[in-house]
């Protein structure tokens, strides 16, 4: 499958709907105090950069990068459409974002994901790309529903 991964300004209906579905999915299975997904307005408001992956004319997935400065950044809002699961879209987006982070001078990348069975595939993907579990970072606090990961770029 050929993917076109491009910087996205969240102006398309498809991208906004996938961000909304991502947040709704997180809220559906996670208590509010443990849900860290950002909606479209919050992504824009934090200055995060979001990329969308397109297979032909169909949206296949999204992922975002929040740059903190001082060579640090956080991976946010990784989501693949149901139709694209298991097709390498998540890995392609992750690798693209890591390349963009390196190009922006980010030396360390962090992420928060769920610790439940529903997030096992995500944790496996991150681990296979060199991320390792770590203590909470930034404003996060220890939470049994969260797994924190990091890797040097």
Tell me what the pLDDT averaged over the chain comes to.
Answer: 90
Q: How far is the CA of 85 from the CAs of 53, 95, 119, in angstroms?
A: 13, 16, 13
pLDDT of residue 50: 93
Number of domains in the chain: 1
Residue 62: count other Cβ atoms within 10 Å of its Cβ.
Answer: 26
pLDDT of residue 30: 74
The Cα–Cα gap between 49 and 37 comes to 15
The Cα–Cα gap between 148 and 109 comes to 11
Mean pLDDT of 48-75: 93
CATH number at residue 77: 3.40.630.30
**pLDDT(1) > 80:** no
Q: How confident is the model at residue 40 (pLDDT cuts 50, 70, 90)?
A: confident
C-beta separation of 37 from 55 below 8 A = no
- For 128-138, write each residue's pLDDT tens digit: 999 999 999 99
3-state helix, strand, coil split of the chain in percent (to 5) is 35, 30, 30
Mean pLDDT of 70-82: 93
Q: Which two tokens stand for residue 84?
A: 């694209």
Domain boundaries, position 135: 4-152
């Amino acid at each position: 499958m050929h993917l076109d991964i491009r910087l996205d300004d969240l102006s398309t209906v498809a991208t906004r709907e996938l961000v909304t579905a991502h947040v709704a999915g997180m809220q559906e299975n996670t208590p509010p105090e443990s849900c860290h997904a950002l909606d479209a307005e919050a992504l824009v408001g934090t200055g995060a950069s979001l990329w969308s992956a397109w297979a032909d004319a169909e949206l296949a997935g999204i992922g975002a990068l929040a740059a903190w400065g001082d060579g640090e950044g956080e991976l946010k809002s990784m989501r693949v459409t149901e139709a694209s699961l298991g097709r390498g879209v998540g890995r392609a987006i992750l690798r693209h974002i890591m390349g963009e982070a390196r190009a922006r001078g980010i030396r360390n990348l962090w992420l928060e994901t769920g610790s439940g069975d529903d997030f096992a595939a995500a944790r496996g993907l991150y681990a296979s790309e060199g991320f390792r579990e770590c203590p909470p970072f930034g404003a996060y606090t220890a939470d049994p529903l969260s797994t924190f990961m990091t890797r040097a770029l």
